[in-house]
Structure 1
Amino acid sequence: MTLRSLLGIALFSLAGCSSLPSPDGSEAGGQQDGGYLNIETLTGLSSKVVETSGLALHAGRIWTINDSGNGPWLYELDEYQGEVVKRVRVADAVNIDWESMAADERYLYVADCGNNSGRREWLQLYRINWQQLLNVSESEPVASQYVEFSLADPGPVQGVHKHDNDCEAVTVVGSELWLFIKGWLTGTTRLYKMRTDIDNQAPVSTETWPVQGLITAADYSADRKELVLLGYTLGRFSSDTFLWRVPVVEGQPDWSAARYHDLWPSGQWEGIAWRGDELLLTREKSILGEARLGRIQLAPRSRQN
């Protein structure tokens, strides 16, 4: 989803205070402003992945996808040069609007969940075996398992980008896939939890959070027990990028202890993935800058049982 057509529309503004307000003006619980975090640029990205929309790591290798208007391809990236070192087609798949990637030890998940109009009823999830993906050559497609789902409680639609039914962020937490809504209308996100192996699901949202922007990516670290949500806000002539860090306690997110960070440099950052105590991010090419692979280094966190 390009920012070019969206700049000039003032959707959200962030308050520079330690307790962040929700869209209705009330305080958003106990969330704290954690200050700025710097995104270190590792490399520019190949012209083959300038519309990067997701990020996943496995066995020390970095994978991304392009969003709508592109084919059903998975791209392995070279961390140091940003080049595509392997491109694999997903068999029997269509890229309607691939927007996010998630991973566990056995599988890579690709979410075809983009919904700019707000009226798309059925969304898709492709589950790909990691071992098969790593072993397959570029000349043959990799097999996938297909899961279709819909949101049981979509919100009202006032027009394109005037609804809270879009989705660009999924991550695996334990045995569940967590899906986060991109709230064009209210600047909130809804959390949905679903199985990764059952077709024709209709999950119901379990929580709504006042994230005050548009969520584009999510990832969970089982080691740190921490969820991150990546997003941006749109001003009249600019876009600001932010990160929410949410503790997960006994498998449940604790929004009351969430921390908010502004990120710099801003831009259309669309993918995020944990790697130890650091975060890798990808930025799509837009009016705000070239496609990039970046990194945020965080302080080590004590591991919990």
Structure 2
Amino acid sequence: MVYRSLAVSAILLLTGCAALPGAGHEGYLSVETLGFLGEPIVETSGLALDGESIWTLNDSGNGPWVYKLSPTGNLEKRVRLEGGVNIDWESMAADESSLFVADCGNNSGRREWLELYTVSWDALRRAAGESEVPASRIEFRLSDAAPVLGAHAHDNDCEAIAAVDGKIWMLTKGWQSSTSRLYTIVPDMDGQSVVSQETWPVEGLTTGMDYSPRRNELVVLGYTYGRLNSDTFIWRVPVSQGRPKWVEARRYMLWPSGQWEAIAWRGDDLLLTRESSLLGEARLGLVRLQ
């Protein structure tokens, strides 16, 4: 997954885009700590809400589990997705009936087929802790992925999905260009090859996103990555008639910074989770929007 240490000498190349222009920069938003995350949630990477219930997951190598959290980040139960394999789980999305889990991590850039799991909220609500629930799985591929020069020297990674009007929107993580490509995935169509619809100059590395149908607004989470520092940001993107309006997007920095990996709308506010890193311990946070 992401930057494991700030000592890694990776400099983002803010170049090259056939990307959409526009969008503006705003000020800072404060992240309020709701609680701290402990074992077994060692590498929180996705976040989704079922009403007031909070769900998260761990990324690669941590098993096909989803975790229900209390409002302060304590573990309430974990549930295994039947037949699931956690190659590199990176993101979650939700609609009224289903939870979606994206196995789309691709640090090497050479992974061709990515996966999307769908599980019903009813099954998760009924499930006892440590039990299994049925889950469907599809594979998809990015048919316009560019050639790879090496690990983290490409734009084919993925850590962000959102459920929008019955489809799944996915954003790539642009290690090479600091941009993100937007794709649309049909959640029940196996073997699909998808082509990007837009490229956004997010000015960093995208780690999460979520959509609010009530607000008609998409939020994108990410960070900048340099030799000596790292800043966390969100983009707020209006959505009209099922299409994002990037030219009206606004960028905000988050404080405190850190390895914030996942984001979800909670009413008019934003819920976030952060991995443990040199910048601080794992935690559950809240951004109150005015």
Decide which of 42, 46, 70 is 1:50's aligned counterpart: 42
Q: Between Structure 1 and Structure 2, how many residues are aligned?
A: 290
Unaligned segments of structure 1, at least 5 residues: 14-21, 300-305
- Percent identity at matched positions? 57
1:100 Cα deviation (Å)? 0.1
Aligned-partner residue type, residue 134 of structure 1: R
Q: Which amino acid aligns with 1:39?
A: V
State the TM-score, normalized to the length of structure 2.
0.96
State the secondary structure of the residue aligned to 1:230: strand
Report the CA distance between 1:30 and its aligned residue.
2.8
Q: Which residue of 1 aligns with 2:75?
A: 84
Equivalent position SS for 1:57 = strand
Q: Is this contact kept in 2: 1:66–1:98, CA < 8 A?
A: yes
| Distance in 2 separating the partners of 1:130 and 1:69 | 24
* 1:38 and 2:30 are equivalent in the alignment: yes
Using the alignment, how far apart are the partners of 2:28 and 2:55 within structure 1? 27
Alpha-carbon distance between aligned partners in 2 of 1:26 and 1:252, rounded to the nearest angstrom: 19
Q: 2:186 aligns with which of 165, 190, 195?
A: 195
Task: Give the equivalent residue in structure 2 for 1:234.
Answer: 225
Classify 1:69/1:202 alpha carbon distance in 2 versus 1 (closer, same or farther; 3 Å): same
Instruction: Give, as a single letter, the amino acid of the residue that structure 2 aligns with 1:68.
Output: S
Which amino acid is the alignment partner of residue 63 of structure 1? Answer: W
1:11 alignment partner in structure 2: 11
Q: Paired residue for 1:112, among 103, 110, 119?
A: 103
Tell me the C-alpha RMSD between the 2 structures: 1.7
Instruction: Deviation per CA, 1:68-90: give whole Å up to 9, x if none.
Output: 0201001001112x221011111
Cα offset, 1:105, TM superposition: 0.5
Cα distance, 1:276–1:236 mapped onto 2, change above 3 Å: same
CA change 1:26–1:144 in 2 (3 A) is closer
SS of match in other structure, 2:224: strand
2:87 pairs with one of 86, 93, 96: 96
How far, CA to CA, are the matches of 2:184 and 2:226 in structure 1? 31
1:173 match: 164
The 1:12–1:223 alpha-carbon spacing in structure 2 relative to 1, beyond 3 Å, is same
Match of 1:147 in 2: 138
CA distance in 2, matches of 1:203, 1:2: 24
Gaps of 5+ in 2: none
- The answer to whether the 8 A contact 1:23-1:212 is kept is no
Determine the C-alpha separation between the residues in 2 that align with 1:26 and 1:95: 33
Cα deviation for residue 3 of structure 1 reads: 2.0
Q: 1:78 to 1:189 in 2, by over 3 A?
A: same
* TM-superposed deviation, 1:92: 0.3
1:163 matches 2:163? no
Name the counterpart of 1:62.
54
Deviations 1:45-92 (A, max 9, x none): 122112000000002100000000201001001112x22101111110
Q: Deviations over 1:159-207 (max 9, x none)?
A: 0000000000000111110000000000000000011111111111000
What is the CA-CA distance between 1:28 and the residue it aligns to? 6.4
Question: For the residues of structure 1 that align with 2:12 and 2:43, how far apart are their CA atoms?
Answer: 24
Aligned partners of 1:11 and 1:233 also within 8 Å: no
Question: Contact between 1:7 and 1:235, CA under 8 Å: does it hold in 2?
Answer: no
The answer to whether the 8 Å contact 1:3/1:287 transfers is no
Scaled by the length of structure 1, what TM-score is found?
0.91
Instruction: Give how far 1:5 is off.
Output: 4.4
Distance in structure 1 (CA, Å) of the matches to 2:16 and 2:121: 44
**Contact 1:164–1:186 (Cα < 8 Å) also in 2:** yes
Shift of 1:239: 1.2
1:41/1:203 Cα in 2 relative to 1: closer, same or farther (>3 Å)?
Answer: same
For the residue of structure 2 that corresponds to 1:198, the secondary structure is coil
